[in-house]
């Protein structure tokens, strides 16, 4: 995806695009945030609905049990059938609740990491823009890389949205797990590449310090001890 990220620092010196064009990547951050919010809310609602259905089945079970004493002998067989059907439905629903909760925590963990990517991009970009060691052309190229990273992050969020939608289709658990695994692997790779890219540019800035005082200010800017 971004296997050549290690050489982007060298490419910065060749960039000529005006820095104002680099702002095009910024809307991606908001788009991703909104998508993550939708995913988490949808999963919250899904879990809540499953749990509410489970509660309704429990209440129905109590009603059947309370009516047991009022039944006549010829009604017992029908009651037993209802009990058996209700128990079957209840345990199937209980299984679904546990499954959804399991998915929820995995989806939530991936969404949290996607949100971290956005926050780290915003923090690093803010620092690089205020760093006089980078030219306007270099900042433009940096933002182009960020744009690619954010686009990949957005695609990983789309995978999570697909998982949420899958609960209203006939997708199997194996299918859902495959999508979740793909999203998790993609996000881990994006996260590592973003950190590597930020680190490379931080070190590049530090290498351009003109004197000891300049180096000290640069370290303070990036929180380097």
Highest mean pLDDT among 20-29, 57-66, 199-208: 199-208
* Percent of the chain at pLDDT exceeding 70: 68
Predicted pLDDT of residue 3: 42
Predicted pLDDT of residue 88: 63
Q: What is the pTM of this model?
A: 0.72
Predicted pLDDT of residue 201: 96
The whole-angstrom separation of Cα 166 and Cα 163 is 5
pLDDT at 83 over 90: no
DSSP string, 99-149: HHHHHHHHHHHHHHHHHHHHHHHHHHHHHHHT-TTS-HHHHHHHHHHHHHH
Confidence of residue 17 (pLDDT cuts 50, 70, 90): very low
In this prediction, residues 168-190 reach a mean pLDDT of 90
pLDDT at 74 over 60: no
Measuring CA to CA, how many Å separate 15 from each of 6, 9, 12, 126, 143? 16, 10, 5, 19, 11
In this prediction, residues 43-50 reach a mean pLDDT of 81
Closest listed residue to residue 160, CA positions, set 118, 109, 96: 109
pLDDT at 90 over 80: no
Residues 6+ apart with CB under 8 A from 195: 120
Residue range 207-223, pLDDT digits in tens: 999 999 999 999 999 99
* Percent of the chain at pLDDT exceeding 90: 47
């Amino acid at each position: 995806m971004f296997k050549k990220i290690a050489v982007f620092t060298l490419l910065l010196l060749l960039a000529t695009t005006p820095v104002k064009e680099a702002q095009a990547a910024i809307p991606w951050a908001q788009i991703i945030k909104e998508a993550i919010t939708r995913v988490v809310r949808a999963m919250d609602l899904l879990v809540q609905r499953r749990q509410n259905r489970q509660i309704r089945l429990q209440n129905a079970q109590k009603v059947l049990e309370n009516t047991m004493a009022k039944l006549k002998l010829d009604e017992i067989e029908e009651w037993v059938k209802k009990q058996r059907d209700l128990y079957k439905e209840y345990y199937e629903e209980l299984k679904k609740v546990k499954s959804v909760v399991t998915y929820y925590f995995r989806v939530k963990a991936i969404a949290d990491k996607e949100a971290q990517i956005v926050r780290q991009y915003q923090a690093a970009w803010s620092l690089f823009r205020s760093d006089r060691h980078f030219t306007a052309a270099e900042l433009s190229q940096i933002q182009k890389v960020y744009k690619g990273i954010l686009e990949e992050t957005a695609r990983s969020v789309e995978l999570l949205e697909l998982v949420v939608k899958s609960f209203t289709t006939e997708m199997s658990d194996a299918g859902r797990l495959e999508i979740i695994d793909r999203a998790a692997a993609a996000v881990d790779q994006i996260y590592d590449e973003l950190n590597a890219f930020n680190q490379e540019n931080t070190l590049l800035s530090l290498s351009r310090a003109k004197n000891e005082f300049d180096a000290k200010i640069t370290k303070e800017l990036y929180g380097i001890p």
